Amino acid sequence: MKKLISIVLALSMVLGITGCSQANTQKPSQESAQESSIDGTYEGTGTGKGGNIVVELTIADNKISDIKVKEEHETEGLNEAMSIMTEEMIATNNFDVDGVTGATITSAGFRTAVADAFSKTGADKSVLVSAGKVEKEKRESEYTSDVIVIGAGGAGLTAAITAADNGASVIVLEKMPIIGGNTLLSGGEYAAPGNWIQVEEGIEDSADKFYADILKGGDNEGNPELVRILADNALDGANWLKDDIKMVFEDHMLFFGGHSVERSLVPKNATGYEMISKLNARLTEKNIPLHKNTTAAELIQNADGQVTGVKAVYDGQTITYNANKGVIIATGGFGASLDMRMKYNENMNEKILSTNSVGSTGDGITLAEKIGAELVDMQYIQTYPTCDTQSGSLLYVGDVRMEGRSILVNKEGKRFVEELERRDVISNAVIEQTGGVSYMFWDESAMTDSGMAVTHESEYNGLIARKQLVKADTIEEAAAFFEIDATELKKTVENYNQYAKDGVDKEFNKRGTLVEFGQGPYYIMVSKPAVHHTMGGIKINSEAQVLNKNGEAIKGLYAAGEVTGDIHGTNRLGSDAIADITVFGRIAGQSAAK
Ligand SMILES: Cc1cc2nc3c(=O)[nH]c(=O)nc-3n(C[C@H](O)[C@H](O)[C@H](O)COP(=O)(O)OP(=O)(O)OC[C@H]3O[C@@H](n4cnc5c(N)ncnc54)[C@H](O)[C@@H]3O)c2cc1C
């Protein structure tokens, strides 16, 4: 028996050894097979601006053959960065590509997601043999059209479409890889006196009232002639966007600070993407060429000083764009240029973050100034009072304030300003508070009625995750999260509820209807001011012609949008900019096409 066992053992050992030797002989070949083929589909996750980015990476023949985004919550429009990067990753067979300018956080999150997916192959990234490069669009060295528009934000696209509608051939230049500028980042809210929702709700309003509000809101520093044009044409501009451009608006309005009545229209999903995507669709329909990644660097003038074109830089190459009729500058403001901010207003230093697109560097102002244009109001730079304390981004969840449903308190639990005051007034008041921040407080019914957590879901989730916003069952708990004096905060809420019952805010005379705070949960969000709008810029006349230092029009040169000054005075009221870029964008387009 023992012998039998030993034979079996011996046999099994032999077999075992044989099995082992088979395994040993196969292993290297399996490993080399793994090294040589990592084909398959892998999932990976990264964190973008709005939360998780989940991708599915497909490798075929050891090459990146496809990347599908399965989940993302990024800013509409800026999420185009992921398609741009995908194209480059596939073309170069490398996931370590540069991010897209203007979409840094989205780009980083996407890259991490792809790297995470690749890590599941178990292989080193060196197995991806580097391939070709992205074929850049070929450009001529010279182009000619009737009108050249610089800047593909709201003003530029509006001007381009209008010029084309008036019979002109048009080319649009945009320095960024993604169009839209500040307009894309904006809430897209549009002040329109006499609009369709006001009519339905029986709210009395008029161009005259709007005119008075704009002037008063800017401490009567705005140019009455230009303000009149804006006030008189704002409704027509809104109707044009709705009926002609097919922009969709929500069925409610917002009450922005400094306005005497509720008059601000809200585009679909409360983002500027609705405006930019619809204007861009019209541009495409009309076959208007849009040259992205193309930076206007110089205005060309003839011997008479007339502007006849633009020199622009694309991929290191200087291109001449000739304009038979005119050049329209629509390059936006300079809120993202620290140098320019400091040059004109030294209070706007590096300690203050910015809500602006990285492309808002005042290029058009510099170009126009070089050929003798007059600049106005350059020192007036607006901060937005309730921005992210970490990034400077404007916090849309905080729009619950514009619904009249929140209060601002300080660390001591006390209100310190009228919540629907002008932005500059609120910002200045916030800076004076402990830590230079404010805490916005509201209740569950305000959250539900305003729908802010749904409309701006990814921002809301991000704020909770980053501990910038708390939701708690009781006022005490919410206050404790930010170490706010809970006893005082409770007193503040009680007082406010009494004012709501009485119909008068005895402390700050808050405008609009006061609504009592009710049951929890309660919300508190921390925020601080960030640079938001530059009121100053190029001086224009009623035809959107750029004026020189003698007040004469510079022939062939027009400007519209945030790049211009003289309209909003010391301070722009909320939702007046989208009206401004639409009204003056249309005027510039008409004038340049003549
Ligand atoms: C976060 C945020 C929210 C806002 N919300 C609102 C709101 O709800 N309602 C409201 O009325 N206003 C709002 N504003 C203000 C408003 O959005 C802007 O004032 C307005 O959109 C500016 O439009 P624009 O076309 O003049 O400039 P932009 O939209 O900034 O477009 C300018 C374009 O020109 C390009 N450009 C710049 N330099 C060059 C160059 N050298 N060559 C080629 N291209 C160039 C830029 O890249 C950009 O694409 C908001 C602003 C921000 C930042």
Characterize the bridge pairing of strands 51-60 and 40-48.
Answer: antiparallel
Question: Does the 386-530 domain belong in CATH 3.30.1330.10?
Answer: no
DSSP string across 483-540: T--HHHHHHHHHHHHHHHHHTS-TTT---S------SS-EEEEEEEEEEEEE--EE-B
Considering the segment(s) 142-380+535-593 as one domain, its CATH architecture is 3-Layer(bba) Sandwich (3.50)
Does ligand 1 have an atom closer than 6 angstroms to the CB of 585?
no
Mean pLDDT of 13-17: 32
Does ligand 1 have an atom closer than 6 angstroms to the CB of 153?
yes
C-alpha radius of gyration, the chain, whole number: 29
Instruction: Tell whether the model's pLDDT for residue 13 goes beyond 70.
Output: no
pLDDT confidence of residue 8: 34
Does ligand 1 have an atom closer than 6 angstroms to the CB of 151?
yes
Instruction: Tell whether the model's pLDDT for residue 150 goes beyond 70.
Output: yes
Q: How far is the centre of ligand 1, averaged over its atoms, from the C-alpha of 316 (Å)?
A: 25
Look-up: residue for tokens 């589909």? 41
pLDDT confidence of residue 37: 84
Return d(Cα 560, Cα 328) in angstroms, integer. 7
| 228 assigned to active site | no
Q: How far is the centre of ligand 1, averaged over its atoms, from the C-alpha of 154 (Å)?
A: 7
Mean pLDDT of 443-448: 97
Return d(Cα 562, Cα 578) in angstroms, integer. 9
SS3 for 305? coil
CATH tag for 40-127 (out of 3.30.300.180, 3.90.1010.20, 3.20.20.30, 3.40.50.300): 3.90.1010.20
Evaluate whether 405 touches 444 at the Cβ level (below 8 Å): no
End-to-end Cα spacing for the chain:
111
Question: pLDDT class for 11, splitting at 50, 70, 90?
Answer: very low
Return d(Cα 179, Cα 157) in angstroms, integer. 10
Q: How far is the centre of ligand 1, averaged over its atoms, from the C-alpha of 398 (Å)?
A: 21
Amino acid, single-letter form, for residue 167? G
Give pLDDT tens digits for 458-486.
899 989 988 999 999 999 999 999 999 99
Look-up: residue for tokens 């070709």? 132
Evaluate whether 237 touches 279 at the Cβ level (below 8 Å): no
Name the nearest CA neighbour of 485 among 542, 446, 434, 559: 434
pLDDT above 70 as % of the chain: 94
Q: How far is the centre of ligand 1, averaged over its atoms, from the C-alpha of 500 (Å)?
A: 38
Domain ranges of the chain: 40-127, 142-380+535-593, 386-530
As a residue count, the chain comes to 594
Nearest-CA residue for atom 27 of ligand 1:
332
- Which ligand 1 atom is at minimum distance from the Cα of 575? 11
Give pLDDT tens digits for 234-274.
999 999 999 999 999 999 999 998 899 999 999 999 999 99
Break the chain down into helix, strand, coil percent, rounded to 5.
Answer: 40, 25, 40
pLDDT confidence of residue 318: 98
For 197-229, b/e burial (b = at least 16 CB within 10 A) is bbeeeeeebebebbbebbbbbbeebbbeebbbb
- Which ligand 1 atom is at minimum distance from the Cα of 580? 11
Q: How far is the centre of ligand 1, averaged over its atoms, from the C-alpha of 332 (Å)?
A: 5
- Which ligand 1 atom is at minimum distance from the Cα of 179? 49
Range name among 20-24, 229-233, 293-297, 338-342 with the lowest pLDDT average: 20-24
Does ligand 1 have an atom closer than 6 angstroms to the CB of 398?
no
Ligand 1 site-directed mutation target among 148, 175, 176, 186, most atoms within 8 Å of CB: 186
- Which ligand 1 atom is at minimum distance from the Cα of 394? 1
Mean pLDDT of 548-571: 98
Evaluate whether 574 touches 189 at the Cβ level (below 8 Å): yes
Does ligand 1 have an atom closer than 6 angstroms to the CB of 570?
no
Mean pLDDT of 174-184: 98
- Which ligand 1 atom is at minimum distance from the Cα of 184? 29
Instruction: Tell whether the model's pLDDT for residue 28 goes beyond 70.
Output: no
Does ligand 1 have an atom closer than 6 angstroms to the CB of 154?
yes
Average predicted confidence (pLDDT) for the chain = 92
Does ligand 1 have an atom closer than 6 angstroms to the CB of 331?
yes
- Which ligand 1 atom is at minimum distance from the Cα of 312? 42
Does ligand 1 have an atom closer than 6 angstroms to the CB of 163?
no
Instruction: Tell whether the model's pLDDT for residue 353 goes beyond 50.
Output: yes
pLDDT confidence of residue 51: 86
Give pLDDT tens digits for 355-375.
999 999 999 999 999 999 999
pLDDT confidence of residue 16: 32
Does ligand 1 have an atom closer than 6 angstroms to the CB of 397?
no
Return d(Cα 79, Cα 75) in angstroms, integer. 6
Does ligand 1 have an atom closer than 6 angstroms to the CB of 576?
yes
Within 8 A by CB and 6+ apart from 87, the residues are: 134
Does ligand 1 have an atom closer than 6 angstroms to the CB of 354?
no
Does ligand 1 have an atom closer than 6 angstroms to the CB of 174?
yes
For 429-465, b/e burial (b = at least 16 CB within 10 A) is bbbebeeebbbbbbbbebbeebebbebbebbbbbbbe
**Dihedral angle computed from the Cα positions of residues 562, 563, 567 and 573, in that order, rounded to the nearest 10 degrees:** 20
Ligand 1 site-directed mutation target among 162, 183, 394, 395, most atoms within 8 Å of CB: 183
The whole-angstrom distance between residue 148's C-alpha and the CA centroid of its chain comes to 25
Evaluate whether 376 touches 565 at the Cβ level (below 8 Å): yes
pLDDT confidence of residue 135: 84
Instruction: Tell whether the model's pLDDT for residue 151 goes beyond 60.
Output: yes
Out of 401, 405, 422, 423, which one is annotated catalytic? Answer: 423
Name the nearest CA neighbour of 79 among 52, 54, 110: 110
Does ligand 1 have an atom closer than 6 angstroms to the CB of 355?
yes
pLDDT confidence of residue 392: 93
Return d(Cα 54, Cα 29) in angstroms, integer. 33
> Pick the residue with more confidence: 506 or 462?
506
Q: How far is the centre of ligand 1, averaged over its atoms, from the C-alpha of 562 (Å)?
A: 7
Look-up: residue for tokens 């496809």? 66
Instruction: Tell whether the model's pLDDT for residue 24 goes beyond 90.
Output: no
pLDDT confidence of residue 134: 84
Q: How far is the centre of ligand 1, averaged over its atoms, from the C-alpha of 271 (Å)?
A: 13
Question: pLDDT class for 36, splitting at 50, 70, 90?
Answer: low
Nearest-CA residue for atom 14 of ligand 1:
186
Q: How far is the centre of ligand 1, averaged over its atoms, from the C-alpha of 155 (Å)?
A: 8
Q: How far is the centre of ligand 1, averaged over its atoms, from the C-alpha of 244 (Å)?
A: 22
C-alpha dist (Å) from residue 587 to 160, 280, 433, 552, 584? 11, 19, 43, 18, 5
Evaluate whether 328 touches 174 at the Cβ level (below 8 Å): no
Mean pLDDT of 19-33: 33
Above 0.95 for ipTM, yes or no? yes
Give pLDDT tens digits for 407-425.
999 999 999 999 999 888 9
Instruction: Tell whether the model's pLDDT for residue 113 goes beyond 80.
Output: yes
